[in-house]
Amino acid sequence: MTADYENAPLPGAPTGPRDGRRLRVLAAMSGGVDSAVAAARAAEAGHDVTGVHLALSANPQSFRTGARGCCTVEDSRDAQRAADVIGIPFYVWDLAERFREDVVEDFVAEYAAGRTPNPCLRCNEKIKFTALLDKAIALGFDAVCTGHYATVVLAEDGSRELHRASDMAKDQSYVLGVLDERQLAHAMFPLGDTLTTKGEIRAEAERRDLAVAEKPDSHDICFIADGDTQGFLAKHLGSAEGEIVDQDGTTLGSHEGAHGFTIGQRKGLRIGVPAPDGKPRYVLDISPVDNRVTVGPVEALDVDALTAIKPRWCGTAPTGPGTYTAQLRAHGGDTEVRAELLDGELRVTFAEAVRGVAPGQAIVLYDGTRVVGSATIATTAHRETAASRG
C-alpha cells in the first residue's frame, strides 16, 4: 500500500505541539531506553500516541540478545512493558520480509560488489521512514516518532529541514540523511532538541518507572547474531580463494573471499611477507571481479576527491557548486568539501585529504547544522594521480 503523502495532514511542529495541535503519532519502540522516553515525551505533550514494535526477523531468536541486540523477542517484550507504563496502545508489526529484501539482501549484495554498506542508514530509509511511514499515513497517523537524536525545523517558507541534535555528542543526523522533505514532514524526534546526557535520559526513564532505564544500548549489526560479519558473509556468498597483492601486483598471500575485507582494514590480513619498510599494511582496494585484495601503506588510503551516486536531498536539491561540511561515518567527524551535482552524480573534493573512505559508504552534506542530503560513495581518488577506487 502506498501512502498519499501529498494529501496527508502535516504535523504543525515535528517535535512537539507548539501550535497546540494534537497529533496522531505512531511511536516506533525498539525496546530500548531512547525510543521509550521519546514515546513518553510525545504522549506527555498531549499527542494521541500508539506504540509499535517492528518484528524484523522471521526467527527473532536468531537476533542478538542482551547488550548488543535491538530486534529480539526480549526487545519486543521490553517495548510492550514500556507502552503499558506510558499508558498507550501497543502493537507488533511484522516487517521481516521487507527488512530481508531491503536491508539484509542489500547488505550482502553490496559486499559481494566490493563495497561497504551502512545497514542502519538503509533501515531508516527503507523500513522506518518508508514501509512504516507508508502504513502509518494509510492508517491516519500524522507522524512517526523515534528515539533518534536529531531535530526537524519548520523553516520560514513552511518547508521542513533536518538539523543536527542539540547535543553533538549524541547526534544521529548522519543515519537520517536519506530522508526527503515529505518524510521529514511526518517525522518526530522528541529527544533531538534538548541538551540532555544519556545519563539524564536514563534518569528520566527511571522517574517514569520505565524498566528499560538501565538497559544497555544496542550496537553493531542486529541481523548478525554472533557479531561475526565475515562468517555471515561467507555463509551467504561462499568461499573462493584469491590473491592478496601489493600496489605493484606482487602476490603476498591468499584469502578465502574478497568480501571478508573492508577498505582501511589492518588486522586479519595474514600476510607472511613483511613490508620493505617494516610498517603495517592496510587494505587499499577490493576487486570482486578477480577476487583480489590490494594492500599497501597507510598513506595510500588518503583520498582527495570522490564521486557519489543515488543522491537524496532533505529538501530542494542544490544548484551549482557549493561549500559544505561532510560526514563520512556515523560516528565520524566532519570535514570541509566542495560539492556539485553533475549528470546525477555528486562530485566532491576535500579541502584536506581524508583517510579510509570506502565505496558503499554514505557521504552526508551539511550547511551548518542543516542536513543538505546524502549520497552513496561510488569511487574515490587522489587529485594528483587520478588513481580511483571503486
Active-site residue numbers?
123, 222
DSSP at 20 = S
**C-alpha count within 13 angstroms, C-beta hemisphere, residue 90:** 21
Contact 271, 281 (CB under 8 A): yes
**C-alpha count within 13 angstroms, C-beta hemisphere, residue 172:** 18
Contact 380, 348 (CB under 8 A): no
What is the side-by-side strand order in the sheet with 143-145? 90-94, 48-55, 24-28, 143-145, 187-188
Longest dimension (CA), the chain: 69
Q: Is the dihedral of CA 93, 96, 97, 99 positive or negative?
A: positive
Cα–Cα dist 50/46, whole Å: 12
Residue 281 burial class via C-beta count within 10 angstroms: exposed 0-12, middle 13-18, buried 19 and up: buried
- What cell numbers appear for 81 in the block? 512493558
- What cell numbers appear for 63 in the block? 537476533
Residue 159 burial class via C-beta count within 10 angstroms: exposed 0-12, middle 13-18, buried 19 and up: middle
